[in-house]
Structures are given as structure tokens and as C-alpha cells.
Structure 1
Amino acid sequence: MLDHIHIENFRLFKNLDIPKVGQVNLITGKNNSGKTTLLEMLRIWANRFSSVGINTAIDLMLINRGEANGNIEEAYKTIFYRYEEGIPSLFNKELSIAYLRDPDFGQFLLSTRVNTQNQTNVHRRMNSGPKIIANPSNDNSFYVPAGFELINSHLWKKIKLTDKEDKVCEVLHVIEPGIERIDIDESDGSAMVRLKNSPKPLPLKNFGEGMNRLLTVALGLVSAENDMLLIDEIDLGLHHSVQRLLWEIVFQKSKDLNVQVFATTHSSDCVQAFSDVANKPEYAGLGNYIRLQRSKKDGDIVAVDYEMEELESAMDLNLETR
């Protein structure tokens, strides 16, 4: 698991330092403070053992942001802080991404360097084609973007007919202990569940508002067992009344499945629910709260780290935390 984050020259981040991260990390901040950008860099990092995976993660980032059409050179420049060519983006001094002009062909190329376990791998990719196209199946990360309606279908394809099906049901027992089986319609992402001693399956949505989003979190946690899960706008579509249940699932199952979670929100209700659950004795030491904001000194994005007790006090006093 990551225990710190240091990013240089990546999109909004000139020099972002997060000296401490936990097992369950909630990231907040105002619009354009870099919440999604932080997840995007973590997604690229999660693909560090595969050159195809790194390129796919970068391309998906540009496609999702609507920056992949038109001039490819200009699209790749958006990866870097203030579009500066030749100055690499760095992650924890172990991953470097640079956009350079090839001296032999005069063409721009994307160069990634990964330093792991005393081994250095350099991958170079020439630009080709009129626009950027990516195959999501080459992405080795477990990333849940905001607003992707078919995310449950996407995650389910990797789980169905494996032992992990039972683990999804185990996560859903936090919602309904009687759930024995689950199936997901890959065309629309809707879920049906079968209860113990029940003759016919029932739609999961019958169990209350926001169940599909809770299912997304469950699928993500099981998919990312012994790895890292990234969720943008984790509380999307959830009523405030079920957000403590959301965090109960995340804290309990990330611990059971050994998953490191990074999630974003801009909701004070979500922060309050996170604080309530993170401060429970059984989850002591698991939670970490990170607020991204612009420095008053130079306008660069910086991270403000809260201890869980400090967050609880700030919420009690109704201080600004997001």
C-alpha cells in the first residue's frame, strides 16, 4: 500500500505533497482543486508494470475529459503542468512521464520511465492516427469514474463465474444478510438478488434508495482485493440517510479484503458520514482525510491533512472541510 504521495508537473499539480495516506482515504476540495486529477495519476501509477496499461490509462484520462480529438500533440501536452514540454511528470520519484521530440524523426513521443525494485523500464510511444483511441480492457487499475452508468456491468464481467461472486454477496450482507446470489444485466447494469428461502429473485433496488451505487462500491472492493480502488464522487446518487452505510461497507470490507481506497466527494454529508464511521474504535487508524486547496501564497494546489479527531471536531464546529 502507498504510505505517501508526491506528484510533480502533472496537470494542475506543480508540486503536490501528501506525506501520509491511509487505507481508506477521502479527498475533498472545491471545483478545479484537483480531486479527479489525483485519482487519474493514481490510475496511471496502478498500471506501472505494463507499458500498454500506462498508455491506456493516459488515453482514457484524455478521452474522459474530451481532450482526445483534434491535434494529438496538443492533447498530450495537457498532461503536464502549464503544458511545459520536456519537463517530466513525476510520481513518488518512481514513475516519470515525459513528452519529448524524437531527435531522429523530429516527431513528438510520450516516454514513461518506471523505477521499481532496482529495475528501470523505459517505454516510448510514437503518436499515430488522427485521434486517441483506447481499449479499456488494457487498463489494470480498479477505477470507478463519476457518471459511468454501465460501471456495474463493466465490473461484473470480471467477477461473474468466479469465486469472487460469493465475496460480492458477503459485502451485500451489510445491506441485507439474507442475500445468497446476485446477477447483473450487462445491457443496463441492473441487478437481481435471490434471498435465502425466497422462491424468486428480486430487484436489488427494492431494498432502498441508492442500492445500485452501493453495489458499485461492493463490486469495486471485491475486484480490487489486495490492490487499490479509486472512486470518483463516491456518494453520487446517494441520499444522505444511507451514507453511513456506505462508509460502513468501505471500512469493513477494505479491511477484510486488504484494499486501499481513494475516493472523492464535494458533499459535506459524505464527509460527516465518513468522519462518524472512521472514528469508530474498530476502524481506528484506517481512515485518512485529505483536502485539496489553492495556496494563498502562489495559487498552487496543496494538500491539507486532517487527523480523524481533528476532522470530527471540525465537523462538530461546522468548520469548512471540503
Structure 2
Amino acid sequence: MLKEIEIQNFRCFEQIKISGFERVNLIGGKNNAGKTALLEAIFLNIAPHASSLAILKELRRESSKAVQAMPDRAWDNLFYALKKDTSIVIIGKDYNNTDRVEIKLEINSVKSSIVIEFMRNENRSALSSKKVPATHLMSYDTSTTGKVPIIPSFTRISGRELTVAYDNARLNEKDSEVLKAFQIIDPAIESVESFYIGEPTLYLRRKGEKRLPLSLFGDAMNRVADIILKLVNSEHKILLIDEIENGIHYTNQRDFWRMLFRLAVELDTQIFATTHSLEMLQAFADVGLEPDQKCSSAYFELARKLKTNQIIGIRRDLETLNYALEHQKGVRGE
């Protein structure tokens, strides 16, 4: 599991080091405090490939035409304050201190290329060093972003990708977890089926009713399906969820957290999620503090220093978080 991450010159982070990650981690803060950027940095740390940069651009819905039109400027927003003369460095360490991955990105404005260097372990032995034309990065296939362990706040995954993911879960005897997740949102759901008549589609059946395609059950069901299927099918043993509260009614949030906590332990997977929601924060604290809870968890608040405007990460254990919530103290970057 990832224990800490250090980020330099990436997105909104000039320099930040966050330590003490647990099995399940919730991240809060004001708008533009770096919550999404932190997930992206963790993603680059676990998937240190040139194609990952293209995937991040795809997930942010940034036009590929900008790369073709302005190749020397298309990747500027990866760099803090557009400082392309300074390398991006992302360093991650696990709990055994046996794996240290360092990612270094550089832009050559003259040649319109990106140099990507990956290091591993304390001796800084090079995993690879790759020079990639900036225009070529967007030629990487991003059509399989549904397999990437990061869930954006706004993108709705296609029915085809969900159906394929469900069949993978069924093949691995994990399809029952998908049904349980749907039942958290709608207890009347009694079955999930995949059909390949025309477009691959998932169908749900409520008690006493005919089966209907998943798309007719609203955005919450689609998002829950995406989260659970990525979790049970995870190859990276990590899941990154941006704005986890989206679509999930507050009355269902505790049961949803219980499921995530349980699966994180059973599947040996680490979860990072962001939120703006005070209700989701309280549900997270309540479930994490339950007497029989076996999953370790922590809350991280991203905030800006008043004097320097630099972003810092404040770790709160659940007892501290719960105390702050009960006494209405600011815990979201206030």
C-alpha cells in the first residue's frame, strides 16, 4: 500500500508531501485545493507510462486538437504556474519501504517533446527514460479509460464498458457484489444480467417488474456500478474516486462506505476518494469508528497557507475528524 507521496511542480502543487495513508482514504478541501490533482499524481505513481498523461487529458475532457495546434503549449497545465523549466517530480513510498517510485517529467519547448524518466528504489536505478514528441502522446489509445482505476467526478462510463466489466466480475465470482451495491441504492433490485443483443447492455430487474436497461435507473446506479466494478476487477490494487458523493443519497452513504471498507480488506485494495460533502464526511467517520470495523482509514484535509498560499495536507484520524464534525469545526479547508 502507498504510505506517502511527495509532489513537486505538478498542477497546483509547488511542493507537498502527504504521509500516513491507510487502506481507505478520504480527501477534502475547498475548490481548487488540489483534490483531483492529488488523485492524478497517485495515478501517475502507480501507472508511470507516457499513455497515462494522455489518459489524464482525456479524463479532464481536454481537446486533442490543442496538442496538434499548439504542441509547445499543450502540456503546460501539468506544471505548477506553467513552470516548464522545472521538472515535475512525483515520489511514492509503500509501507514496507521496499518500493520507491520516482517519476520525472520534463518539457523541451524547442523540440516540442516530453522526457519521461522513471526511477525505482533508493539507489535511483532507472526503470526507463523516454523522449516522446508531444503530438504523439495523443496517439495513445484512450478508448479503454474505463479500465483505468480512476473515476472522474463527471464522466459517465459507457454501457458497453460496464457490461464487459460485469462479465469479468461474473467470471471471477464477484457479480454478487455488484448486486449488493445496487441494492444499497434500491433494495427492490433482485437481479443483474448482461445481454449482447445489439449493443452490450446491463439489465436490472426490480421485484415484480420486468427487466430494464441500467441507463433507465439514473446516474447514481451507473456511478455505483462503475465504482464497484473497478474495485472488484482492479489490477492495480488501488481505486481513485473523485467526488464520491455524486448521485448517492445521504441515507445510503453509510451502507455504501461499509461495502467499500469491507471490499478494500477482502480484495487487498487501497481506496482514495475526494468529497465536498459534509454528510459524506460524517458517514465516513461513523463507519470507520464502528466497533467491529477491520479496515484502517484516515481523512486528509487540503488547505492553503495564508502567508504563502501553498497547499498543505493535514492528516486527521477518525476520532479527531468526528470530534471536529460534532463541534462544527472546519474540516474542509476552511
TM over 0.5: yes
Please say if residues 173 and 179 of structure 1, whose CA atoms lie closer than 8 Å, have aligned partners that are also in contact: no
Matched residues in 1 for 2:142 and 2:87: separation? 25
Letter of the aligned partner of 1:5 in structure 2?
I
TM-aligned CA distance change 1:291 to 1:120, over 3 Å: same
1: CA distance, partners of 2:219 / 2:143: 31
Instruction: Output one character per residue of 1:57-90: Cα deviation in whole Å (capped at 9) or x when no partner.
Output: 34435x5245862422212121111111231111
**Equivalent residue for 1:316?**
326
Q: Look up the SS of the partner of 2:156 in the other structure.
A: coil
The match for 1:108 is 112
Q: CA deviation at 1:221?
A: 0.9
1:151–1:216 CA contact under 8 A, matched in 2? no
| Residue number in structure 2 paired with 1:64 | 61
- Rounded Cα–Cα distance in structure 2 between residues aligned with 1:266 and 1:145: 14
- 2:263 maps to what in 1? 253
User: Do 1:46 and 1:141's aligned partners in 2 also have CA atoms closer than 8 Å?
Assistant: no
RMSD, matched Cα: 3.3
Q: CA deviation at 1:314?
A: 1.0
Matched residue, 2:31: 31
Q: Distance in 1 between matches of 2:135 and 2:217?
A: 49
* Alpha-carbon shift at residue 27 of structure 1 (Å): 0.8
Q: Deviations over 1:184-227 (max 9, x none)?
A: 7899997424689x896466699999433322221121121561
Q: Where does residue 247 of structure 2 map in the other structure?
A: 237
Using the TM superposition, give the Cα deviation of residue 56 of structure 1 relative to its aligned residue in structure 2, in angstroms: 2.9
Residue 211 (structure 1) aligned to one of 204, 221, 231: 221
Report whether the alignment pairs 1:95 with 2:103: yes
The gaps in structure 1 that reach 5 residues or longer are none
For 2:155 and 2:85, locate their aligned partners in 1 and report how far apart those are by CA, in whole Å: 34
Displacement of 1:290: 0.7
Counterpart-to-counterpart distance in 1, 2:127 and 2:277: 41
In the TM superposition, residue 317 of structure 1 has moved relative to its aligned partner by 1.0
* Alignment-derived partner of residue 54 in structure 1: 52
Q: Does 1:136 align with 2:108?
A: no
Distance, in Å, in 2 between the alignment partners of 1:275 and 1:186 is 44
Task: Name the amino acid aligned to 1:108.
Answer: S
Residue 270 of structure 1: how far off its partner (Å)? 0.7
1:291–1:190 distance in 2 versus 1, CA, 3 Å: farther
Per the alignment, do residues 24 and 33 of structure 1 end up closer, same or farther by CA in structure 2, a change over 3 Å counting? same
Match of 1:192 in 2: 203
Q: Which residue, 281, 300, 317 being the options, matches 1:290?
A: 300
Q: Match of 1:15, SS?
A: strand
What is the TM-score with the length of structure 1 in the denominator? 0.84
Question: Are the aligned partners of 2:303 and 2:312 in contact in 1 as well (CA < 8 Å)?
Answer: yes
Equivalence map 1:147-166=2 (5 Å): 147-150=154-157, 153-160=160-167, 163-164=170-171, 166=173
Alignment of 1:71-90 (within 5 A): 71-90=70-89
- Contact 2:28 2:276 (C-alpha < 8 Å) held by counterparts: yes
Structure 2 residue matching 1:17: 3-state secondary structure: strand
TM-score (norm 2): 0.81
Deviates more, 1:212-221 or 1:107-116: 212-221
Structure 2 spans left out of the alignment, 5+ residues: 92-100
Q: Which amino acid in 2 is paired with 1:299?
A: N
**What's the counterpart of residue 3 of structure 1?**
3
Judging changes above 3 Å, is the alpha-carbon distance between structure 1 residues 60 and 77 closer, same or farther for their aligned structure 2 residues?
same
Task: Count matched residues.
Answer: 313
With over 3 angstroms needed to count, the CA separation of the structure-2 counterparts of 1:132 and 1:314, relative to structure 1, is: same
**Does structure 2 retain, via aligned residues, the 8 Å contact 1:89–1:98?**
yes
Deviation at 1:301, TM superposition (A): 0.8
Q: Which residue of 1 aligns with 2:193?
A: 182
Secondary structure of the 2:300 match is strand
Q: What letter is aligned with 1:27?
A: I
Q: Aligned-pair distance for 1:294?
A: 0.7
- Give SS of 2:328's match: coil
Identity of aligned residues (%): 27
- Counterpart CA distance in 1 for 2:303 and 2:140 is 32
- Larger mean CA deviation between 207-216 and 276-285 belongs to 207-216
Once residues 289 and 123 of structure 1 are traced to their aligned partners in structure 2, the CA distance between those partners, rounded to angstroms, is: 36
In structure 2, C-alpha distance between the alignment counterparts of 1:96 and 1:258, rounded to whole Å? 28
Distance 2:2 2:65 in 1: 30
**Alpha-carbon contact 1:150-1:189 (below 8 Å) kept:** no
Which amino acid counterpart does residue 282 of structure 1 have in structure 2? D
Does the 8 Å contact 2:8/2:90 carry over to 1?
A: yes
